[in-house]
Structure 1
Amino acid sequence: MNSVYQSPRVLKPTVPLVVVLVLACGAQLMVVLDGLIVNVALPQMQAELGLSASAQQWVVNGYLISFGGLLLLAARATDLIGHRKIFLAGVTVFTLASLAGGLAHDPATLLAARLVQGIGAAALAPSSLSLLTMTHTGEQRTRALSIWSATSGSAGALGLVLGGAITSGLGWRWVLLINVPIGAALWISASASLIPSHNRDRRPLDLPGAVTVTLGAAALTFGISQVGGYGWTSERVIVAVLAAAALLGLFVVAEQRGPAPLVQLSILRRGNILVANVIVAGLGAIMTATLYFLSLYQQRVLGDSPLRTGLALVPMSAVLTLGAITSKSLLPRFGARRLVVAGGLVMAGGLVWLATISAHSDYLPHILGPTLVWAAGASIVTLPCVALATAGVDAEHAGLASGLVNTARQTGGAMGLAALATVASRATAHSRSTESLDRVVHGYSVAMLVAGGIAVLVALVALGPGRTKRWKAVGSDTIADR
């Protein structure tokens, strides 16, 4: 295999291809890690900064919303402005935001830093992948993409363990500050290796669409998160929901009338794409909320250290990774619909089992067992949905279809966490127990039951009538339900 760069458009001559692979994987690892690593550090953040329950959600949600809301815009900007410029801008924003978050001394600064981190992540995710596809061809590309995908998958387990180890050894600030030297190394390497790109397209970016959809999602998530403390009829909830409706309405108008829309709404009329993204959003809600509650439960209720919490969830992350690999061979045999239905029902079973936790639960029967079950279900749902979301899509819309999946995952996670945290808060407030820990655990249990209900809905959506012809996977072989 030729180890030096083959195209003059991206990498400087004589620079080995492995440099691009390291840059892309390093950026992707940093992006995925920061979606998870803070979960284990939340109790320490709360203790030092005095974060409210709502603010704790936004440490996670702020990142997910800005990441998911701006992902499509960043992907478009990568094509129009250039891979090098967007990659360097993403690294810069992400690194500086990590520094600000790590040095924060009040909740507002921390939450603002997480929002800005999400902006940097939105730039890094598509540009890192584009660097690989622009510089690798044939077997080299397949190998590079498999390494990039494995990096994304392993980042889940690594994020939990690193979060626990760093929080236990150095304190919560270093789960953010660790990005500073990594980001600096990526920036220096990219600057030295990548050729400055030239604008190839003068078409405008759809800033109105990106701003309205991101703010709309944020307003809706905020409104949902306030229901637990203030109720549906409170002024702040009503204002937030109305603002979300107005902003999302403006987004639709902007996409219909804009010269270069971020999302061509006609693509959503294809049943397979809409169904797949609804399922992916539900999956994002379940996974984000489950990790959030598990981390709080283990540390606040069971008294586990951050490191022990991270290690306790490693088997679950391993199953998520192994299941995703296995689903690749299961898809041609069973078809997309069967895998999604089976995965949704298995997830539901694991979450109902997880809802049996108490203030004095043992690890093996009440945490390890149910998390392995729901992880097994979740792991076989993703690939069929990605296949479905991109099936039959022409080259012109391939990037949009892929971007919609990632956007659905991130925004679904943010809104799902807000909704399930609200459920937990209301259940805790109405618990009849006299013990505070029992009331808190009751709230977590009810939230897990609702998450199980979402998993059942995932299966029902897949079972919907008239789907058979649409459930096909991308590739040389057509994979349909049997």
Structure 2
Amino acid sequence: MRKWLPLTAVCLGAFMLLVDVTIVTVALPDMAADMHTGFAGLQWVMDVYALAPAALLLGAGSLADRIGRRRVYLGGLTLFAAASLACGLATGPAALIAFRAVQGIGGAAMFATTMALLSAAYQGRDRGVAFGVWGAVNGAAAAAGPIVGGLLTEHFGWRWIFFINLPVCALAVYVTLRAVAESRDPHARSLDLAGIATFTAGAAAVTYAVIRGGDNGWTSGTTLGLLGLGVAAFAGFVLVELRGSHPMLDLSLFRSHTFVGVMAAGLLLSGAAFSYLMYVSLWLQSVEGMSPVGAGLVLLPMSAAGFVVAAGAGRLLHGVSPGLSIGGGLLLIGVGALLQAWLPAAGDGWPALVPGLLVTGVGVGVATPALAATAMGAVAPARAGMAGGALNTARQLGTALGIAVLGAVFHAGLRSGLGEGGRDLSEPLASGGAGELLAAAPAGGARDSLAALVDAAFASGLRDTFLASAAMGLAGALMAFLLLRRTPRAAAPMIPAPAAPTSAPVPVPRP
């Protein structure tokens, strides 16, 4: 049993990281009520946790190669635990968002090292078993997140979704210290600090511009200035990577149409499949009156379908063109979103969403196993770690931008559904305050009219959100069909991770 302790240490960290993505989704209405925060604040609580790893994953991987993967993993666990405690004790939305960002920094350190630690700890058949167990834990964690979050929020309060991380972190640190050996790359590159800084600035500026665009106006000086800053920062990133002696991302990789297709597919898959879940959760709890546990159960079919399909897709679709598997999966994601946009109308309840959630989950399960293998096959073996980090970055960035873009679409659709006379209600409704508004309305016809207006507004907002999500999925499918036409050369042996409703890291062997 002792030989599986390194796997236990890695799986504890992975489970906690992925649970903390989906566990927050069902707690958002309670957070909004307790913290008196608005719609943009809720978006940032979700978004910053994806944005920090997107910005720092490649840099964290380079740091781990230089100073030791075990050391960086332990540092990530410790930082994650401290930030979780601070999130649970936060007294305002600004503090909560800041500490969620620190959680994301700790998560980046853990994301960047887990697979390298497993690769160093196991060889041969044991490595395949370890990757398989790690993938199963990924899927189980993401599926369990809404249920665990619902139970904790409903019975103990939303702060316990963060406090629960402390004993798990402590156990993971203990097992890591006892059983995980240190490893590093003797030929590791120096840190690309300029690349990290410019990429972080670009991603943060664009995300903030999109989140604030609905309130400030898309042509306002603030929005255009932030977008301009983001474009300038990304341009700086390109220059730094082209001129640097040790870039964290070798831009020559993008000369391969296969690599470009995989990056685009990873980004659009995360944005299309997962980013609307927080808005669905707000509707389920604030309008449909469901408990946090009930809302978590509604989202379960998607994650369960993705988990089951991905477990078999890696073997059943082996040798199939990546354009067919990845493109087909994204096509199903787009169709699933269209089903959700087509079926719901004012007065429909949560069962109307289930067919679309199931189809989306199947699409995620079909596409996910091929993403990592195709990325590995598109580059030289010496660039395998960089390619895997780039794919993880694309998926995290897809989630962050997806939450921002779909949030703007949802809010605009909500305001449109309210009409001119109800525009003042859009912010409290988007922040999960529908129940309080209805309770405060006079009983009788006035309350019934308000309830009908709220129902119609949410139907409008969600329909527009699903249509935007479908557009992302179908655009990703088209790019995959066009760019991923050939089966990549054989990559390093690996067991694909089951899909999960999160931009979870994919199992990638580091060189």
Query: Same fold judged by TM-score > 0.5?
Result: yes
Query: What is the DSSP-based 3-state SS (H/G/I as helix, E as strand, rest coil) of the residue aligned with 1:313?
Result: helix
Residues 350, 373 of structure 1: 8 Å contact kept: yes
Matches within 5 A, 1:301-320: 301-320=287-306
Measured in 1, the distance between the counterparts of 2:493 and 2:167 equals 43
Measured in 2, the distance between the counterparts of 1:65 and 1:318 equals 26
| Corresponding position of 2:350 | 363
2:476 to 458, 461, 468: 458
Query: What percentage of residue pairs aligned between the two structures are identical?
Result: 32
Cα offset for 1:382? 1.6
Measured in 2, the distance between the counterparts of 1:333 and 1:399 equals 23
| Corresponding position of 2:89 | 103
Residues 64, 184 of structure 2: 8 Å contact kept: no
Q: Provide Cα deviations, 1:72-115, integer angstroms capped at 9, x if missing partner.
A: 11111111110221011101111101111110010010000111
Cα offset for 1:353? 1.6
| Corresponding position of 1:468 | 485
2:267 is the counterpart of 1:267: no
Measured in 1, the distance between the counterparts of 2:132 and 2:21 equals 21
Residues 168, 306 of structure 1: 8 Å contact kept: yes
* Distance change >3 Å, CA 475–CA 188, structure 1 → 2: closer
Matches within 5 A, 1:137-156: 137-156=123-142
Cα offset for 1:143? 0.6
| Corresponding position of 1:379 | 365
Query: What is the DSSP-based 3-state SS (H/G/I as helix, E as strand, rest coil) of the residue aligned with 1:303?
Result: coil
Runs of at least 5 residues in structure 1 that lack an aligned partner in the other structure: 4-15, 478-482
2:192 is the counterpart of 1:175: no
Letter aligned with residue 362 of structure 1: G
| Corresponding position of 2:438 | none
2:48 to 58, 62, 65: 62
Q: Provide Cα deviations, 1:418-438, integer angstroms capped at 9, x if missing partner.
A: 011101111222225561332
* Distance change >3 Å, CA 191–CA 431, structure 1 → 2: same
Cα offset for 1:333? 6.0
Determine which structure has greater relative contact order: mean sequence separation of CA pairs < 8 Å that are 6+ residues apart, divided by chain length. Answer: 2
Matches within 5 A, 1:332-481: 332=318, 334-355=320-341, 356-364=343-351, 366-431=352-417, 435-464=453-482, 467-469=484-486, 474=491
Q: Provide Cα deviations, 1:311-349, integer angstroms capped at 9, x if missing partner.
A: 222222110101112221332364322223332332222
Cα offset for 1:128? 2.0
Q: Which moved more, 1:231-240 or 1:59-68?
A: 231-240
* Distance change >3 Å, CA 359–CA 287, structure 1 → 2: same
Cα offset for 1:199? 8.0
Measured in 1, the distance between the counterparts of 2:189 and 2:322 equals 37
Query: What is the DSSP-based 3-state SS (H/G/I as helix, E as strand, rest coil) of the residue aligned with 2:249?
Result: coil
Matches within 5 A, 1:186-205: 186-195=172-181, 200-201=186-187, 203-205=189-191
Residues 80, 202 of structure 1: 8 Å contact kept: yes
* Distance change >3 Å, CA 370–CA 334, structure 1 → 2: same
Residues 346, 374 of structure 1: 8 Å contact kept: yes
Q: TM-score, normalised by structure 2?
A: 0.86
Measured in 2, the distance between the counterparts of 1:263 and 1:202 equals 14
Residues 302, 359 of structure 1: 8 Å contact kept: no
Cα offset for 1:203? 4.2
* Distance change >3 Å, CA 471–CA 19, structure 1 → 2: closer
Measured in 2, the distance between the counterparts of 1:188 and 1:389 equals 34
Matches within 5 A, 1:108-123: 108-123=94-109
2:73 is the counterpart of 1:87: yes
Please provide the CA RMSD for this pair. Answer: 2.0
Residues 83, 131 of structure 1: 8 Å contact kept: yes
Residues 378, 488 of structure 2: 8 Å contact kept: no
Measured in 2, the distance between the counterparts of 1:323 and 1:141 equals 22
Measured in 2, the distance between the counterparts of 1:158 and 1:81 equals 34
* Distance change >3 Å, CA 56–CA 335, structure 1 → 2: same
Measured in 2, the distance between the counterparts of 1:201 and 1:328 equals 33
Measured in 1, the distance between the counterparts of 2:275 and 2:180 equals 39
Cα offset for 1:172? 0.6
Residues 347, 373 of structure 1: 8 Å contact kept: yes
Query: What is the DSSP-based 3-state SS (H/G/I as helix, E as strand, rest coil) of the residue aligned with 1:172?
Result: coil
